[in-house]
Structure 1
Amino acid sequence: MRLARVRALIIIGTLALVATATAGWAILNDSQADLGGCAADKIPVDLEMPDPKLVEVRVYNGTNEPGLGEQVKGDLEEYGYKVVKVGNKKREDLKGSAEVRYGPKAVGAGHVLSAYFLDSSRAFDPERNDAIVDVIIGSGFRQVNTESEKVQSLGEIGRPTAPMGTCAVNA
């Protein structure tokens, strides 16, 4: 082998080694890479959309119309949800069909439940420690969406996303 050819192979080998080391360093030090953990200042949230039988729900009637809480309870139980409480919670300011409230352990479940209510709002409470989802029925409530309407609504609103100040631990 000629000296020029040996020198060329050494130079190409060295360049390949430097390029590989540089690429590896860049990947490991990428600040945008998700390596599976949350930063210390972020709250971990569960974005998994669980099976309905694993979701506990509290239903509150926020209107003056009696019996709405029990009606919604029956509909949600028919779809497989576990309603653990029905009560009243006066909300004169709630004009939509419902407000769905949840904490970090129930972001995905709250997202899915909101799809059962036309014109619903969602309220994330980072201080909650339970996985229970609260549904407060508002004055705009007419009925709980059917399963096919829920699927269509989920298609429109998409998958759940981590609220501001949080990070997803699974999705």
Structure 2
Amino acid sequence: MKILMVTGYKPMELNIFKEDDSRIQFIKASIEKRIREFLEEGLEWVIISGQMGVELWTADVVMDLKEEYPVQLGVFPPFENQDGRWPEALKEKYEELTMAADFFKPIYKGDYQGPYQFRTKDMWLIDKSDACLLLMDEEFPGSTKYFYDTLQKTAKDYPVFTITPQDIDDVVEDLRMQDPHYWD
């Protein structure tokens, strides 16, 4: 696998409303753990659409991993100005990402035209990647359900790796056990 697409929840679907929420560090650690495994096996590119939440957190992780691995980050939003209605802090983060990414190109020119742009974006990312890493709880799929349904209908021989709530709990426990005060 050379190209991995990553997606998952938006922050509000996880009841995360601030960028300094402590739960984000556990989500990022879970993403990093999986991406590191893929990098050790030869992963070269991580691609995202740049939506807020899991995808922006993935971008942070990949940018940090660049210090250790020759990994590239590609950002392919469904249309220009996807961040137009986002909170100001996330707009700034997105703007920085568009400049720091190794490749950035909206799939459609212009602003939002309709839901077909999201479907096209999903199909395009599936087509351009070798596999997907999806942060999703099947009991509460949220907006990831649309992407997951597209995968089920169209990508028959396409590997889908997941990060589940249990995976995140395992990372939380690992991090707690690394704290020297845990054993007191």
Pair in the same fold by TM > 0.5: no
In terms of Rg, which structure is larger? Answer: 1
Whichever structure has more helix as a proportion of its residues is 2
Whichever structure has more strand as a proportion of its residues is 1
TM range (shorter): under 0.3
